[in-house]
């Protein structure tokens, strides 16, 4: 059974274990609706360029390699389920890049994970998922990794 409701889904991943549940949900939705998945990772170059002086190039290359591994995991999960997955690696501020990509590429849904932090932890670290939910014109499905 397929649907035209979701034709194109972004699964935003940071490569951490907490995104695995979001990847699983996104792939399942894509399979049910016949959607194409865009596995998206954003290399946060802003925080590296602002706070690093020495070794900036090396750190950026390590972050790019980690990003490629992260989107590769989504692609493998999609292939195992028979879902088409396109790999997208961007650089910049993660929340801004996710929103811009979704809004400029006719994306129907953004799927992403969160640790579900509250209070001081969320205030100090900020939340990419929260920023995307607040600012995106595209619907967002946020999947908590922990109960």
Contact between residue 143 and residue 113 where contact means Cβ atoms under 8 Å apart = yes
pLDDT surpassing 50 at residue 36: yes
Q: What is the per-residue pLDDT for 147?
A: 54
Which of 88 and 56 is assigned the larger pLDDT?
88
How confident is the model over 86-103, as a mean pLDDT? 97
Which of 124 and 73 is assigned the larger pLDDT?
73
Q: How far apart are CA 80 and CA 26, in angstroms?
A: 13
pTM for this one?
Answer: 0.87
pLDDT tier at 46, thresholds 50, 70, 90: confident
Q: How far apart are CA 82 and CA 78, in angstroms?
A: 6
- Domain range summary for the chain, segments of one domain joined by +: 8-144
How confident is the model over 30-38, as a mean pLDDT? 96
- Please say whether the structural domain 8-144 has been given the CATH code 3.40.640.10: no
Q: Which of 101, 83, 97 is nearest to 131 (CA)?
A: 97
**What stretch of H or E contains 110?**
strand 109-114
């Amino acid at each position: 059974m397929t649907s035209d409701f979701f034709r194109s889904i972004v699964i935003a991943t940071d490569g951490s274990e907490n995104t695995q549940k979001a990847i699983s949900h996104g792939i399942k939705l894509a399979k049910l609706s016949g959607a194409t998945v865009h596995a998206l990772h954003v290399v946060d170059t802003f925080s590296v360029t602002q706070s690093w002086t020495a070794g900036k190039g090396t750190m950026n290359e390590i972050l790019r390699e980690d990003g490629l591994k992260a989107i590769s995991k989504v692609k493998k999960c999609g292939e195992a389920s028979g879902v088409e997955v396109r790999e997208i690696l961007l650089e910049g501020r993660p929340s801004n890049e996710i929103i811009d990509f979704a809004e400029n590429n006719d994306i129907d849904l953004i799927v992403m994970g969160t640790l579900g932090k509250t209070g001081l932890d969320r205030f100090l670290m900020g939340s990419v998922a929260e920023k995307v939910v607040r600012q995106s014109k595209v619907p967002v499905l946020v999947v908590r990794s922990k109960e």
